[in-house]
Structures are given as structure tokens and as C-alpha cells.
Structure 1
Amino acid sequence: MSDTDMELRVGSTSNHASLPKHSGDRQYCSQDDETLRKLGKRPLLQRNFGFMSILGLSCTVMLSWEGILVTSVPSLLIGGPAAVIWAFVVNWVGFTSVYGVMAELASIAPTAGGQYHWVAMLAPQSCRKFLTYLTAWLSTLAWQANAVTASYLIATTLQGIVVLTRPSYIPLPWHTMLLIWANAVFAFAINSTTGRLLARFEGLILLLHLLGFIGILVPLVYFSPHNKASDVFTTLYNNGGWPTQGLAFLVSLPSVGSSLIGADCAVHMSEEIQSAAIAVPQALFYTIFINGSLAFSMIIALLFCITDLSAAEAAADTMFYPFLQVFQSGVKSTAGACVMASIILVLAIAGGIGVYASASRMVWSFARDRGLPFDKYFAKLTKDSSLPVHAIFLTMFVTVILSLIVLGSSVALAALLSLVVGALYTSYLLVCVLTLWRRVTGYFQPFTLAGLDDQIEGLRWGPWKIPEPFGTINNVFACAYSAFLLFWSFWPQVYMPTPESANWSALVYGSVIIFCIIWYAVKARKYFKGPVKEI
């Protein structure tokens, strides 16, 4: 085995006689730093997050039941209510499978680098450095775009609430830009205080995430007139002009599925989590279960309560988001609709804080492995709180700079932000495919409590793993689903799109891929060696 393989291996993290029964078990807390050392990384960040706080961060970053109110509308207009419901079910099953594979890898190597560190462990020697570099750039840029997206959604939701209360208000682009700046500064301020404050904040937000769901679902369902069940579960449209109903359904999949992206934020916070080898996999699964259940319930409620689809569609031109009109017409009260929308706004702001935390850790990790320009600067930590403040500041700065695009064209900004979907899907696909390859070739060895065996060939499973043969079956399905969803994510919503309705993600995604290839061939291959062995 090569020296690189030896450097990237990780074995068991404990000599105890039994596995911990829950993620907060103290016997694993004391082993987190040792796990990092075996991965070649110095334990520098303070472990302020327990299971509940990281679950709160993961749930609010994914923001599924809140986000589905936005992401389901394009699919509803194109494919109809039944398309939205079944598209969500397909994506829920698919993402559960993908996060299952990621949970297994997070148990082996719980590091802030996440996907790109796993690619470095699993890829063949011949293309390891390039695939690691590509995955790192895609993940880093995707999370930066995600931070901008979060700020943009918060800004436009606030403007939509203002329009709802004062129809005479005209939301101008520079208003949107200033609100994006305000949110970016706020997210930077919260993330730059202490990790302990952030952890406590996310634990509180988890409670609000659950209570807010009830606070919106109950009045919406109780006061709104209802559609018939047949209209909701069996009605299909083909308003996109596609040759078949099947194509109309398939192009609606990525839009609905985007509400389930983001649970891997827990992975990028791994080096700040107690008992990370257990807590992170558990957080991934609990997040997809909780948020998937809430989002599915909200979809059903929303589709039963949209009785005037044309009015909801028209509201997108004035209030940005049709759900504001649905709230107003449903509860028949502007004040009530504003309270309901404000709950979503508060949760979106909280989710944006988590997005900034994850995005900054991704920057910090990539800089630590000398993959970014000015890597020494962005890899620095504060002396008192051990936070990557420079990386957090870069995330804020990127948001501020990219928000200037909204002054020229919201279409151009949407095209840039579409990188989130394609880039993250690609990172998911790469790790799933490489894991399956290593799995079927016998590269993984069973988890053991006896400690690391220096003579072992390959990798040891971590303390959390899907039992065989279900692990392999799940891995195969995760590969198929990731490739399938990545393919359809580049399709437009309509058959003959205009520049405004076109899906520009292929252009943005392709440009990033080409840039990475050229830059790696010209320069990066000379200095980037993959995850740096610090100890």
C-alpha cells in the first residue's frame, strides 16, 4: 500500500468493550481528537455541538417544510398536484439512500472536508488528486452559492411580506441588495461570536422549527377551503409543452428535490461535534426523517388549500412567492398571513446562519489543505475561540459581491445560484460511486474495538454502518438516484424556454468544471496534494 493510502486510513476510535448507546456518550467524546489525529489532522476547533444542537443546525439548514412552499410551485405549475406529491416521495427515498452512504463515510472520517476528504480516501491513485481537487471546489462553491441563496430568499421574503401589508410598495433591486447585505452581516456576527453560542442557538431553533410547522399548518388547514382528494392526488398537467406526461414529471423532480439538500452541513461541522463518528450519521438520518415528514405534510396541506392557482401564480410577480397569497386567501386575514409568513422568515434567517457556518468550515478546510488562494490567511483561527473568522468573513464578502448582480438581472443571479444543485449532486454522486467500488472489491474491513492495525489493507468501517447486504443495495440505489437527478437537474421547466425561463445551470456548472480542469492542469497539480497530513 502506498504512503498516501496509509496516511488516509482511519481505524477504530476506542478500546471500550461496547459501543455507545447514544451520540452523547462520554466514552466517545474523549476519542474524537484521536480520530482526527489518525486522519492526519490536528484537533483545533472546540467541540461545542452535541447531538441535539447539530440536529437543530442540520434541520434548519435543510429547511424542508419551509422551502417546499417555494420549490413546489414551479413543479405544480408544470406538472400538477400529483406530480409534486410523487416527485417529493421519489426524492425523499432517494436522498435517504444518499445520506445513508454519507453517514457511513462520516462515521469513518468525520472531518470538515466531508466529500472531498472521502474522495481522497477512496479514489484510485491515478486520479485521486484531481478528483479530490474537483470535489473540493464544487463543494466549496456550492456552499458559497447556498449562502447567497439563503440571503436572497430572506430578503425577498421580507419584501413580499411588505407588499402583502402595503400593496403600493414596489420592491426595487437595490432594496433587495441592501437586505441581502444586512442578512450577511447578521449571519457573520452570530457565527463570529463563539461556537458555544451558535450551538445553543441551533438547539433553540430546532424547537421553533417544529412549533412553527404546527403554527402554520393548523390555521392553513382549518380556515382554508379544500380541494377534493382526487384533484390533489391524481391531477397531472403538462403546461411545459413536453411531448409526454412522463417528461413533464421528470423535469419537475429536481425542483422539488432541492428542498432536501443541505443535511451534509452536519458533516462539515464534524470537527466541532462531540462523538462525531456517531452523532453525525445519526443527525443525517434524523434530519431526513424529520424534515421529510414535515415537508410531505406541508405539501399535502398546501395542495388541498390552493383553490385559486392562477391567483397564486400571479402573486409571484408582485410578492415573489405564491405561498404568501395562499396564506392570505386561506386564513382570510392579511395580519394572520403576515404572522404566518414571519414565522418562515425567522426560520429562514436561522437557517441562513447555519448555512454560513457550514460554508465557512468548507472554506477553512479547503484552505487548510492548501487548495485555495491565500490559504494561510483563510486557514487561520482566532486564538481565544478557535473559530475560522477569516473564512466566515470570506463567505460574507462573497455574498455581498454576488448580490450586486441583482442590480442588473435577477435571472443572471438565479443562473449563478443554480450551481448549488448541480455541484452538490456531483459531489454526492462521486462519493457514492467510489464507495460502491471499494465496497464490492473488499477494500473495507469490519469495525473493531481493538484499535488501529498498522498492517490493515484499506479502510475500517466506523462504528455506524448499514448492515449487509442492505448497505450494498442502498449504495447501488444511491448511485443510480444521484446520477438520475443530476441529469434532470440541467433540463428547463418548459419545452421551448425563453432566456428568462431557461435553465442556466448547465452553463454555470460547465464553466466551473472547465475552469477546474484547466487550473488544475496549469497550476494546481503542482501544489495541491489532497488532504494534508498535519501530524
Structure 2
Amino acid sequence: MMRDTFATKSGGKLASEMHYSSGSSSEGALHHGDESVNRDEEEMARLGKRQELRRNFGFMSMLGFSCTLMITWEGLLTVFVYGLTDGGPAGLVYGYLFCWLGYFTVVASLAEMVSMAPTAGGQYHWTFLFAPKSCRNFLSFITGWQSVLSWQACLASAAYLGGTIIQGLLVLNYPTYNFQRWHGTLLLYSVILLAMLFNTYLAKQLPTVEGAVLIVHIVGFFGVLITLVYLAPHGNAHDVFVLYLNNGGYDKGTSFFVGLITTVFAFIGADGAIHMSEEIKNASTVVPQSLMASIGLNGTMGFSMLIAILFCIGDIDNALSSSTGFPFIEIFHQAVKSTGGATAMSAIVLSLMIFATIAVLAAASRMMWAFARDNGLPGSRFISRVEPRTKLPLYSIAVSVIITLLLGLINIGSSAAFNAVASLVVSGYLGSYTLPMLLLLYKKLFHPASIHYGPWTLGRRLGIFCNVFGLVWIAIVMTFSFFPSVRTDLTPQTMNWSCLLWGGTMLIGVGSYFGHLRGRYNGPIVETDIMDQVRGV
């Protein structure tokens, strides 16, 4: 359904001039005729937005959604090779702790902001609220552009990892299997189409599914961990907590920071619950709680799995050179000394990667829908439609799936080219967090009275600490995410193209803002009929 009103700012206040959220906002109720509007719709109205999507997620289903979207312990295994190459076991251990703390402060900052303004747009909406009038439209657009691109890249990456893990298991079980890139693309297609099925036809069951997957996420963790620790030969503490490797050719310090990409990727998608805000009951409290609970739970399981697999890694060279393409499959095989056992353990990781793709598609499509709702994308009037019967953004779901299908074709020609596109994940996500955190910090330091906190807040001192530490951490991680994992004998296949891709997409975004979208994107649209409700008209 096309939104009934594409209201201009002239009919109501700008979003940043509104009382965008207050801890007391839930105490009253707005009335439209004889109908009472609940707390979530009231908070949406204060932001000038109409409730269009069905709210069917609660705390447990959203906790499951957040945990299975990040899949920290599973994701850590899939990109294990980068940390082993640069940093080695000790680099992975201390790098994990550094990144866990960094992500915790970033997520805490995001949780505080989503409590103020729980909308699917998230970062770009907050940027508009906090930025000066002179530049808020542009800063908001750049933030939203990065967020949309990063989620689309993450969707393609998740589907790709699911498909290639299946290929790795084929190599393990059938030594004569002839590994072909186009096979991986077809398997990628099967994963993304399954995700589309769950996000459309089975969408009503998605909250129940996510709650059930949370159980699999936890039970599967213990199944893999206990089997690994019990059956695998154990190394010594020196090889885990002291042994550094710099096989990438960097010095010891640089190698440590380049290897952080493993842990950074393992926590990717931490803001997923934010973009589902308009489908969550009591979003201003449930979303922050689910964000914090997921980073704590996933962080604990991820660190436990990291320590276990480092003690049980066996021959590191064999793991790094595994014909399956995934060191964790070889580590499982060395541990249980059985192809069937290694396949069963890897199947747990694979199933959770597929469910992660389902969750990523949900978050990516909502982010695209929200930005299109505010005229931030070409074809916004089409992408922002909501199907009236299901109350789902089916058009943004379809566009997201089509983008992934097209990106999958790149893998047929060159896996390096596909990985270059996927490398937008880290820089896009971290870039989208930076501006709202920086602007909120500025307000906390110089204009604290202008901030209207939501029901969930960090407090002034802890909030400032989280903002500062998070921003410093983002600057460090984002810088080293542009480094190639191997310094010596660089080739087009081993070069890290993420800096070029990120810079290029930013230039395209700026060109679109001053070109095709000139005068069309003016920040989050305030719908005048909703504003009339807020003012009691």
C-alpha cells in the first residue's frame, strides 16, 4: 500500500523540532475519534510517523532475532582464517576482548538513541534529530546511504557464506567433487530464496521461529563446544595466550590490528533489532534491552568458543590450508577424526548461518523501506509501499533479494570481486554509527538540556564514556579494515578493495544527493495528519 500522505515539512514541525521522545511519553494516550492509540503508536506519532507495520515481536523473539543475526560464535568460525594469519592465537584472544568492549560501548550508545526515537530508520533519523539545521539533511542522507549499502552487502555475504559452507562440506565428504564458483552462486541463490520464503509467506511465524532459533543457537553452542573440548587433543596455554603470528607480513603491532577484522565481522549486525523497531511491542524499552542482552550473551559464547577452538586447533598449517576453504571444518575433522562427526558439527554452524540470512533480510529490507519512505532512494515511491493485507514491506524485500541475486553473479567471474563488494559490510556499518554518536556526544557536552531521553538511558557519565570510547574504537577498527590481510606479493585477488569500494559508493551517494535526489530528500518526512493528533487537533 502506498502511503496515503507524503506530507511536506510546511504542514508540521520538522522532526528535530519535535519532542522526539520522553520518558513520560508512555504515560498518556492520544485519541483519534474514539480510538485509543497505544504507547508505540504515540511514540511514532511524536516522530511524525504513521504505524504501518504489524507489531508482533516481543523481548524473547527479538533477543533471538538479535543473537541469530549476529551469530557471533558461528561467525567467528567462518572468518577464523584472517585472525590466524594476522595476530595468531594470542592476537585473536586479546583482539576479541578489545572488540567486545568496543562493540559494547557502541551498542550501548545505539540503545540509548533508539529509546529516544524507536524508528526503523535508526541512525539516519537520529542524525537528523541531533545535527545543526544547516547540514542535517546532508548528514542524515550520508548516514542512511551507508546503512542501506552495508545491510545489502551483509545480506549478500551471509547468503554467500551459507552457500560456500555447503560447498566445503561437499569437499569434505566427496574428495572427487570438482569445486566450481558457479556452484557456490547457485547455493547462494537457494539460501536467499529460503530467506525470502520466511520473510514473506511465513512472516507471521517469524517471531516464533526466531525464539526457537535462539534455543538452537545456545544448544548448538554447547553441542559443538563440549564435543570439541572432549575429543580434540589440547594445546598448552602458551600457544593460546602468548603465541603471535604475522604471516601477513606486517610487524607485530600492525598485524594485531589487521587481524581484528575476524572479531569485528563476528559482531556485525548488532543494530539489526533497531530496524525492526516498528514491529516490536514497547519498542523504546524492549529494543535497548534486547541489544544489550544480545551483545552480552553472544559475546560470552563467542569468547568461550574462541578459547576452546584455540586450545583444540591441532595443526594450524593444516587448518589454514584446508581444501574445504574453512579452517573450522578441518579443525572439527581433526578433533573427532570422523567425516560424519565433522559434518554434523559443521551442519549446526551452517543451519544457524542460514537462519542468520533470514534475519539479515528482514533487517535489510526494513532499513531500505524506511529510507525510501523518506525519499532517500531512487524509486522510493515503489520501494516504500506496504502490502495492506500482510502489512509487510514486500517491495523492499523483493528489491533486497534481487540485489543479492545480481551480486551473486559476480562470484561466477571472480570470488575476489565478490569479496570486494562484501567488504562494504564493516566500513558501511561503522560509518553509519559514527555521525549519530558524535552528534549526541556534542549535545551531551555542550547542550545537555536539549536532550530528551527515552525510558532507557545510560546516565551522563557512563553515556559520555561509551560515546567517546566507541568513537575511538570505530576510528581504529575502520582504518585497519582497509588493510589487505597479506602485505607481501599483493595481487588483485589478495588486495583489500574495501577502501576503494567505500570511497566510491560515498561519491555515488553524494552525487545522488546533489543530482537525482536534489530537493527530494529533506530528512525524515513528518506526516501532517499524525502531527494533528499530537497537537490534539
User: Which of the five TM-score ranges fits, normalised by the shorter chain?
Assistant: over 0.9
Whether contact under 8 Å (2:156, 2:404) holds in the other structure is yes
Alpha-carbon offset, residue 332 of structure 1: 0.8
2:98 is the counterpart of 1:90: yes
The alignment partner of 1:235 has SS state of coil
2:162 is the counterpart of 1:154: yes
After superposition, the CA RMSD in angstroms is 1.7
Whether contact under 8 Å (1:46, 1:386) holds in the other structure is yes
Which of 328, 335, 340 is the equivalent residue of 2:333?
328
Distance 2:15 2:123 in 1: 17
TM-score (norm 1): 0.92
2:173 is the counterpart of 1:165: yes
Q: How does 1:193-208 map to 2 (within 5 A)?
A: 193=201, 195-208=203-216
2:286 is the counterpart of 1:279: yes
Q: Structure 1 residues 15 and 332, CA, compared in 2 at 3 Å: closer, same or farther? A: closer
Whether contact under 8 Å (1:112, 1:271) holds in the other structure is yes
Which of 340, 358, 375 is the equivalent residue of 1:353?
358
2:392 is the counterpart of 1:380: no
The alignment partner of 1:527 has SS state of coil
- Paired residues, what number? 509
Distance 1:238 1:14 in 2: 54
Alpha-carbon offset, residue 16 of structure 1: 4.0
AA of the residue aligned to 2:377: L
Partner of 2:129: 121
Gapped runs of 5+ residues in structure 2? 1-12, 29-36, 531-537
Distance 2:147 2:451 in 1: 23
Whether contact under 8 Å (1:49, 1:196) holds in the other structure is no
Q: Structure 1 residues 3 and 313, CA, compared in 2 at 3 Å: closer, same or farther? A: closer
2:255 is the counterpart of 1:263: no
Alpha-carbon offset, residue 73 of structure 1: 2.0
Which of 223, 226, 242 is the equivalent residue of 2:234?
226
Which of 9, 22, 32 is the equivalent residue of 1:11?
22
Whether contact under 8 Å (2:91, 2:244) holds in the other structure is yes
Whether contact under 8 Å (1:9, 1:38) holds in the other structure is yes
Distance 2:503 2:241 in 1: 37
Which of 311, 335, 338 is the equivalent residue of 1:304?
311
Whether contact under 8 Å (1:8, 1:40) holds in the other structure is no
2:80 is the counterpart of 1:72: yes
Distance 2:460 2:380 in 1: 41
AA of the residue aligned to 2:139: L
Partner of 1:528: 521
Alpha-carbon offset, residue 170 of structure 1: 1.5
Partner of 2:485: 493
Alpha-carbon offset, residue 376 of structure 1: 1.4
AA of the residue aligned to 1:519: S
2:484 is the counterpart of 1:484: no
Distance 1:461 1:418 in 2: 35
Distance 1:372 1:250 in 2: 35
Whether contact under 8 Å (1:194, 1:385) holds in the other structure is no
AA of the residue aligned to 2:296: F
Whether contact under 8 Å (2:80, 2:327) holds in the other structure is no
Alpha-carbon offset, residue 375 of structure 1: 1.1
Whether contact under 8 Å (1:13, 1:35) holds in the other structure is no
Partner of 2:409: 404
Whether contact under 8 Å (1:13, 1:32) holds in the other structure is no
2:387 is the counterpart of 1:344: no
Alpha-carbon offset, residue 171 of structure 1: 2.1
The alignment partner of 2:48 has SS state of coil
Partner of 1:468: 460
AA of the residue aligned to 2:463: G
Partner of 1:20: none
2:295 is the counterpart of 1:288: yes
Alpha-carbon offset, residue 220 of structure 1: 0.7
Alpha-carbon offset, residue 60 of structure 1: 0.5
Partner of 1:454: none
Whether contact under 8 Å (2:15, 2:526) holds in the other structure is no
The alignment partner of 1:112 has SS state of coil
AA of the residue aligned to 2:507: I
AA of the residue aligned to 2:144: A
Alpha-carbon offset, residue 194 of structure 1: 5.2
2:184 is the counterpart of 1:176: yes
Distance 1:518 1:356 in 2: 27
Whether contact under 8 Å (1:87, 1:257) holds in the other structure is no
The alignment partner of 2:79 has SS state of helix
The alignment partner of 1:526 has SS state of coil
The alignment partner of 2:460 has SS state of coil
Q: Structure 1 residues 3 and 359, CA, compared in 2 at 3 Å: closer, same or farther? A: closer
